[in-house]
């Protein structure tokens, strides 16, 4: 038996990649009241009244607006919760997610 301990000169190069972030996207529709969109944004995404109003208006004018980015699990959970809250109040408001490039 040999007691020689060989210490490697270089560390094993294990590449750890950051998890890809996913965008939560607010979609415009013709029926959900503006104030309700602002309410949902504040409740689920913890943005200020001002930020919520701007996000809502951008979606209203352009058709969609990125609300925030999170890891996939968090983005999907928040999009589902926000969409479900709107559905429970009878509004067709929708949030989707997509991975960032
Ligand atoms: N377009 C809606 C209206 O005129 C308001 C609205 C804005 C709805 C943004 C959805 O993501 C949205 N009442």
Evaluate if residue 93 carries a pLDDT over 80.
yes
The pTM assigned to this predicted structure is 0.86
pLDDT of residue 92: 98
CATH number at residue 50: 3.30.1390.10
User: How many domains does the structure of the chain reveal?
Assistant: 1
Other C-beta atoms closer than 10 Å to the C-beta of 21 total 14
* Predicted confidence (pLDDT) per residue in 1-59, tens digit: 557 777 777 777 888 888 899 999 999 999 999 999 999 999 999 999 999 999 999 99
24 Cβ closer than 6 Å to some ligand 1 atom: no
Residue 66 lies in domain? 21-99
* Predicted confidence (pLDDT) per residue in 69-89, tens digit: 999 999 999 999 999 999 999
32 Cβ closer than 6 Å to some ligand 1 atom: yes
Let me know if residue 2 belongs to a domain: no
Spacing, Cα 71 to ligand 1 middle (Å): 26
Edge-to-edge strands, sheet with 64-71? 64-71, 21-27, 94-99
Spacing, Cα 72 to ligand 1 middle (Å): 25
Instruction: Give one DSSP letter per residue of 4-40, joined into a string.
Output: --PPPSS-----PPPPPEEEEEEEP-SSS-HHHHHHH
């Amino acid at each position: 038996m040999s007691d020689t301990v060989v210490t490697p000169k270089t560390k094993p190069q294990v590449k750890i990649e950051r998890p890809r972030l996913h965008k939560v996207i607010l979609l415009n529709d013709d029926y959900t009241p503006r104030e309700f969109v602002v309410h949902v944004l504040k409740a689920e995404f913890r943005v200020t009244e001002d930020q919520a109003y701007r996000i809502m208006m951008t979606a209203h004018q352009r058709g969609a607006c990125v609300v925030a980015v999170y890891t996939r699990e968090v983005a999907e959970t928040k999009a589902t919760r926000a969409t479900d809250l709107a559905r429970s109040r009878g509004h067709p408001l929708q949030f989707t997610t997509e991975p960032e490039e």
